[in-house]
Amino acid sequence: MPTPVVDEIRGRVGGTVTVFQRMNAAGDLLRVATNVPNKAGRVSAMLDATGAVLNSATMTPDASAIGNKGGAQAITLAATEMPAHFHGAGISDQGHGHAVGGIVGTGNNGVQGGGTYSGITSGTSTAANSNTTGVRVSSPNGLDTTASAGGGNAHNNVQPTIVCNYIIRVL
């Protein structure tokens, strides 16, 4: 919230200001107004007028003015900011079989290609042997892995921060 007296003084001297009123002869003081930034939950960063370390990517708008804030308690990485990595991909074919049925009678009834067949009668079925397909997952990284994920790019890693003076002189 703007405070006209201290904001005017801050504009003239370029620093933070607190105005106290003397309450009695013993020297007790009452704080009347201040523009010292609230640092609750934030770490201090010194003024960075060049933007060499703290810039608009990490601070709002940057670290060139006292009271500017930036950083975050938590961030969610974009896929391009995650370290490059692979995922395992396996397919497990436990084998399978097919029921065979519908061959009826003796002789060559229902048998393709001629010849005779006996041994299965009406209403009987049997199963073919169990087999596996041999299917595997392949990618540029080799068998049983996915393609590379994550880009390994940099991400913002600034804790909640406020630009302020470390030493405040009280006159």
Q: Are 59 and 52 in contact (CB under 8 A)?
A: no
Query: Rounded mean pLDDT of the chain?
Result: 74
Question: pTM to 2 decimals?
Answer: 0.46
Integer-rounded Cα Rg, in Å, for the chain is 39
Per-residue pLDDT, averaged over 104-114, amounts to 47
What's the confidence (pLDDT) of residue 115?
A: 46
Lowest mean pLDDT across 35-49, 101-115, 146-160: 101-115
CA distance 128 to 97: 6
pLDDT greater than 90 at residue 24: yes
pLDDT (tens digit per residue) in 77-97? 888 898 988 777 766 666 666
Alpha helices of the chain — where are they, by DSSP H? 4-13
Domain locations along the chain: 4-80+158-163
